[in-house]
Structure 1
Amino acid sequence: MGSRVFKFIKREPVFLASLICAGVSMLLVPPDAAYSGYINTEVLCLLFCFMLVQAGMQSCGLLDFLAGKLLRGPKNLRTLTLLLVLLTFFLSMFITNDVALIALVPFTILILGRAGKKRSLIFTIVLQTAAANLGSMLTPFGNPQNLFLYSDFELSFADFITVLLPFAAVSLVMLCAACLFVRKEPLEPLSASAAAAPVRCRKRLFLFLFLFLLCILCVLHVFPYWVLTPIVAGFFLFVSRPSFRAVDYGLLCTFVCFFIFSGNMGRIPAVQSLIGEWLNADPFGTSVLASQVISNVPAAVLLSGFTDNAPALLAGTNVGGLGTIIASLASVISFRLYMRTENARAGRYLGVFTLVNAAGLAVLCGLYYLPGR
């Protein structure tokens, strides 16, 4: 029994932390009708749909096929890492940081395994996570906090870009520089079968790709999530029922716990008073700090009611996505995906993650506080 508990704690540290935070907050703010407004149903439904569709595409061998194609290009590990990081950075601008990681981290796990470079997995995934959080800042729909603040403050696109372009440009340089720490080790040649891995069940794959497109349209608010969810769930129920086992339900529960925690924190009078004082003194720093504790999306929603300084709030909640593992819930996604790999090492991952994120956070905060800004 003890060994099972230990394995569960090792496998689900973020979920347990979120559960404790939610439980403590519920003691401070007893459950009531307002709890129903905490949960972002759209985010949960989208995550569920993307994980289902991805499992379906994987069952058709799509990731194996793409991995074989990609490994024919780069000749060394540094080039491959740079390619994966840049792909995540730019893709996150258009399909959000969460979706980019859900799509690309499993691909990275597969491709580094095929290349015989599993020991580089942690550093690469950590860089991809930072790339998703930083690349997504450059578009109003790249992440949930941007979409909320862009609409809530009725910003123009020019104002939006003016605030975040310097941070995105410096972030891109930092990520490329970080890839220089990866050795230029040659990649193991693929076997003939792996290099030419075929796509199976092509007709079914086209249907999965169509559902993936619907998910993207839902992210862009072209297609409603309450229509998408029953369509995707119903399709997989009849066509690919085993895919339901691939859904990370622990991740969905983690999100629910964080929603409860952040919602309760915003209702505590002492916390509200403290937030008001800090925002008046330093709205950017307060946004960064709040993001470290309750994550940047809830921080954006919470703080927007206390200030009209949209540029500082926009910059702070985006830069604040770096830092702790919960600063951006997208970071929780990549950590969870890594922990499902064989021989995953949570302590080492969190150590590398903290080091990389602290360095990036220090540079971007320094950029904001430069004289003359």
Structure 2
Amino acid sequence: MTDSSPARANAPATSTAPSHSASSAADEAPGGGNGLLWVLVAVAVLFAVLRPRAPMDYLRLVDWQTVGALAGLLAITQGVEKSGMLQATAQRLLGRVTDLRSLAMLLTAGAAVLSALVTNDVSLFLLVPLTRVLATQADLSLARLVVLQALAVNAGSALTPIGNPQNLYLWHRSGESFVGFMGMMAPTVAIMLFWLFVAVWVLVPRTAITLRPATEAPAVQPRLLTLAGVLFVAFVVALERHWLVAGLALVFGAFLVFYPRVLKGVDWALLAIIALMFVDLRQLAELPAVAHLLQHAPIAEGWRAYLAAIVASQFISNVPAAILLDGPVRDLPALAAGVSVGGFGCVLGSLANLIALRLARLPHGLREFHKISIPFLIVCALSALWLRMG
């Protein structure tokens, strides 16, 4: 596609753009495909055969705080979506933004900024459903936009101590001030954001947004929207005070009593995927061969520590990688930079990647994700390595 003036056009009823077929398929498969779930189940069964353990030990491997927080946020997101507010917001946005590249820049920049302020996961819960609704109203490449948002939250959240779980852990370990930690991460984040916006410029053409034939938008339900907003604030407060069970009881109880249809849309398979990730990846990290490798590998500092964090993130995700390498790696800035860059590449690099793809309900999202994310990892990793060695 080539650049054109940002003129608005209406799509014919027979439009067969790739994004249209993708979004239609997503409607037919709300879960976005469960291939990864069955892979994780198979790995869990293999570990159970080769390294059996007591049933309760498997439950202890799961970070229930994370799984519970996701469950509550998934339910609240469904409430916002079913309130009709996303559809109304999408219509207003399409009325003001006229070309694809501008829209992609806006959504990507918004994801990066929000992730630094309200964590990467929460920013995805706010923006990916909106993007999915946008794709139902106009011919947009939903998969590409969502992948760019996943990259954006991984990059933006790396700036602040509260942007993601690994930063929070490393910040407490570092003894740095809030601003001091941001100063430590700023050069790496600047590189990631630079390449992020280059990727948007290259991957998204400046062509006019083509609107689809108008369909009757659902009426906004202010009561449901208000309930979802109140529950969101209450649930965040409950999480901060470690009242997870009470927060979940409030969220699910309120929806069950007043809007039970909201709970039908919760992606329970995503919660199973996250729980099984903890079970599988923590057992992988416990393997004697892994422990021996960490004890004898020359990864204490410098570029070796940085690359070790990137590689480990590809296999066990960046949060477990930060915790696992905190002992053998003594160079905390290199470790922090490595696990941040390591969120790119493989979908397992960051929990945010999985959340973005599941929220978008993309049946072939993994393929599109890796087509963009793996080259992006290589470019960012080499650029940040050059910065550290320069």
Q: TM-score range by the shorter chain?
A: 0.7 to 0.9
Select which of 100, 105, 114 maps to 1:91: 114
1:267 alignment partner, one of 262, 286, 292: 286
Q: Equivalences for 1:76-155 in 2 at 5 Å? A: 76-117=99-140, 120-155=141-176
Q: Deviations over 1:285-305 (max 9, x none)?
A: 111111100111111122223
| CA-CA distance at 1:123 after TM superposition | 1.1
TM norm structure 1: 0.87
Instruction: Flag structure 1 segments of 5+ consecutive residues without an equivalent.
Output: 1-6
Query: Quick one: which amino acid aligns to residue 86 of structure 1?
Result: A
Deviation at 1:359, TM superposition (A): 2.4
Alignment of 1:246 onto 2:265: yes
Aligned residue among 206, 215, 221 for 2:226 = 206
Note if contact 1:14-1:332 (Cα within 8 Å) is conserved in structure 2.
no
Q: What secondary structure does 1:11 align onto? A: coil
1:225 to 1:10, Cα distance in 2 relative to 1, 3 A = closer
In structure 2, what residue type is equivalent to 1:105?
V
Matches of 1:94 and 1:149, distance apart in 2: 17
- State the Cα distance separating 1:49 from its structure 2 match: 0.7
Q: What TM-score, normalized to structure 2?
A: 0.84
Kindly indicate whether residue 181 of structure 2 is the aligned counterpart of residue 165 of structure 1.
no
Equivalent position amino acid for 2:249 in 1: P
- Cα deviation, residue 157, structure 1: 2.3
Quote the residue 1:280 is aligned against: 300
Instruction: Give secondary structure in 2 for the equivalent of 1:183.
Output: coil
Deviation, structure 1 residue 253? 0.6
**CA distance in structure 1 between the partners assigned to 2:213 and 2:242 by the alignment:** 42
Q: Secondary structure at the match of 2:312?
A: helix
- 1:325-348 CA-to-partner distances (Å, cap 9, x unmatched) read 11111111122233x35xx3x1xx
Q: Distance in 1 between matches of 2:49 and 2:327?
A: 24
Q: Select the residue among 250, 256, 276 that pairs with 1:231.
A: 250
Could you list the per-position Cα deviations for residues 243-281 of structure 1 after superposition, in whole angstroms to 9, with x for gaps in the alignment? Answer: 111111111111111101121122222211102333337
Greater mean alpha carbon deviation, residues 99-108 or residues 247-256: 99-108
Supply the AA of the counterpart residue of 1:235. Answer: A
CA–CA separation in structure 2 for the residues paired with 1:324 and 1:10: 18
Question: Is contact 1:96-1:142 (8 Å) kept?
Answer: yes
Q: How does 1:214-229 map to 2 (within 5 A)?
A: 214-217=234-237, 221=240, 224-229=243-248
- The percentage of counterpart residues that share the same residue type is 31
AA partner of residue 133 (structure 1): N
- Give the conservation status (yes or no) of the 8 Å contact 2:161–2:182: no
SS in 1 for 2:96: coil
* Partner Cα distance (1:127, 1:73) in 2: 21
Which of 284, 309, 314 does residue 331 from structure 2 map onto? 309
Cα distance in 2 for residues equivalent to 1:82 and 1:233: 35
> Contact (CA 8 Å) 1:29, 1:268: kept in 2 or not?
no
Does 2:63 match 1:40?
yes
Shift of 1:85: 1.0
| SS of corresponding position for 1:255 | helix
Change (3 A) 1:259 1:45: same
Pairing partner for 2:316 from 294, 300, 311: 294
Pair 121,68 (structure 1): closer, same or farther in 2 beyond 3 Å: same
The alpha-carbon distance between structure 1 residues 37 and 312, as it changes in their structure 2 partners (threshold 3 A), is farther
Query: 2:195, 2:380 within 8 Å by CA — same for their partners in 1?
Result: no
Q: Is the 8 A contact 1:292 1:324 kept in 2?
A: yes
Partner of residue 89 from structure 2, selected from 66, 76, 90: 66
Question: 1:369: how far off?
Answer: 2.3
Partner of 1:3: none
CA contact (8 A) 1:51 1:247 kept: yes
Distance 1:244 1:193 in 2: 25
Answer yes or no: is the 8 Å Cα contact 2:105–2:197 preserved in 1. Answer: yes
Q: Distance in 2 between matches of 1:217 and 1:203?
A: 21
Residues 236, 218 of structure 1: CA spacing in aligned structure 2 closer, same or farther, 3 A cutoff?
Answer: same
Describe how 1:294-373 pairs up with structure 2 within 5 A.
294-338=316-360, 340=361, 344=363, 346=364, 349-370=365-386, 372-373=389-390
Letter in 1 for 2:382: G
Distance 1:197 1:188 in 2: 21
Structure 1 counterpart of 2:277, which letter?
A: F
Residues 108-158 of structure 1: per-residue CA shift (max 9 Å, x gap): 1110220232xx111111111101111111111111111122123433324
**Deviation string for 1:40-87 (max 9, x for gaps)?**
111111111111111112221111111112111111111111111111
